[in-house]
Amino acid sequence: MRVLVTGASSGIGEAFARWHAARGDALVITGRSAEQLQRVAVDLRSAGATVQIVVVDLATAAGVDSLVAQAGDIDVVVANAGITHAATVGTTDREELDRLSYLMSTGVVRLCESLVPAMLQRGRGEVVVVSSIAAFTPMRKAGPYAAAKSAVTAYARSLALEVGSKGVRVVAVCPGYVHTDLHRRAGLEHLTTNLPEWMWLEPDDVVRDTRRALARGKTVVVPGLVYRLVRPFLASSLTQGVWRRMTRR
Ligand SMILES: NC(=O)c1ccc[n+]([C@@H]2O[C@H](COP(=O)([O-])OP(=O)(O)OC[C@H]3O[C@@H](n4cnc5c(N)ncnc54)[C@H](OP(=O)(O)O)[C@@H]3O)[C@@H](O)[C@H]2O)c1
């Protein structure tokens, strides 16, 4: 199988790439950092995988188009590239907002719209959309992030309904906090010390629960038992109050 993993240079995307490499799949991995991608590619190749690297900025239409042109036929797409973002309303500049939205919402839709038709022709394929628990839990100062993740989750659920009976499996995976570089890159490293360890998953947990969900035909999965248990209460004012205190700087 030929597998495209966006944002495979670290974190959750890298874990997906390793999982597919271990199965002998051919990989197309993307990110903006050529150096980081080379590091991952060396490891994947040592596990026996064929690896194509595509260095691309997926926060732009040109970037997504370029990736589609270079990737060729893809059997499995893991649309994972993304960031996190927290800022008081009105303080993020327009260009940054547009890039966030394209990277994690419009661009993901565009990527799937380009790749899924060929999967349908072959009668098989998989689409994994890495979303977030923010898709259904209000998060203070994270409106644009929650909006993008909600949109892409809605897209995945509708796509699953359309193509599920034609051999193409689709799942939106909605993690809570996962130990990756994401929060440090967004200037939110205080979360790694403020939040208790039980609130954190590892990237491999996300991959494991996603694969299990695909096998069971689920279209939305929240990885980790803890998150599945607390999910119904996350929007309550009590939980939001506790959460707010824990995530304060
Ligand atoms: N970690 C969490 O707690 C958590 C929770 C819920 C959802 N998520 C989601 O999980 C996904 C993966 O994040 P992660 O936690 O694994 O973080 P990460 O370790 O920072 O990985 C993010 C990946 O996305 C790539 N990326 C970022 N901006 C990009 C751009 N403009 N164009 C192309 N690639 C870009 C990065 O590569 P380059 O920087 O080299 O471009 C990197 O490979 C994201 O969609 C994130 O929103 C994470």
CATH value at residue 69: 3.40.50.720
Residue ID of nearest Cα to ligand 1 atom 42: 7
- The parent domain of residue 73 ranges over 2-247
Give residue 13's pLDDT. 98
Q: Which residues of 39-61 are buried (b: 16+ CB within 10 A; e: fewer)?
A: ebbeebeeeebebebbbbbbbee
Q: Is there an atom of ligand 1 within 6 Å of 54 CB?
A: no
Residue 132 confidence (pLDDT): 98
Q: Which of 157, 161, 71 is nearest to 115 (CA)?
A: 71
pLDDT score recorded for residue 230: 85
* pLDDT number for residue 232: 85
Question: Ligand 1, atom 36: nearest CA belongs to which residue?
Answer: 7
**Residue 202: its H or E element:** none
Query: Is the C-beta atom of 81 inside 6 A of ligand 1?
Result: yes
Q: Are 156 and 126 in contact (CB under 8 A)?
A: no
- Position 215 scores a pLDDT of 97
| C-alpha to C-alpha distances, 101 to 3, 55, 107, 117, 184, nearest whole angstrom | 24, 20, 8, 24, 20
Burial class of 196 by CB neighbour count within 10 A (0 to 12, 13 to 18, 19+) = exposed
Q: What is the reported pTM?
A: 0.97
Per-residue pLDDT of the chain (249 residues; tens, 9 = 90+): 999 999 999 999 999 999 999 999 999 999 999 999 999 999 999 999 999 999 999 999 999 999 999 999 999 999 999 999 999 999 999 999 999 999 999 999 999 999 999 999 999 999 999 999 999 988 899 999 999 999 999 999 999 999 999 999 999 999 999 999 999 999 898 888 889 999 999 999 999 999 999 999 999 999 999 999 988 888 888 888 888 888 887
Residue 24 CA to residue 93 CA, distance in Å, equals 43
| Residues with Cβ within 8 Å of residue 22, at least 6 apart in sequence | 47
The pLDDT, as a whole number, for residue 249 is 77
Cα 81 to chain center, whole Å?
6
How many C-beta neighbours within 10 Å does residue 89 have?
Answer: 8
The closest alpha carbon to 159, from 113, 206, 210, 123, belongs to: 113
Would you say the CB of residue 185 lies under 6 angstroms from ligand 1? yes
CB 67 within 8 A of CB 111: yes
Overall domain count for the chain: 1
Name the active-site residue from 102, 145, 155, 227: 145
Q: Whose CA is nearest to atom 8 of ligand 1?
A: 132
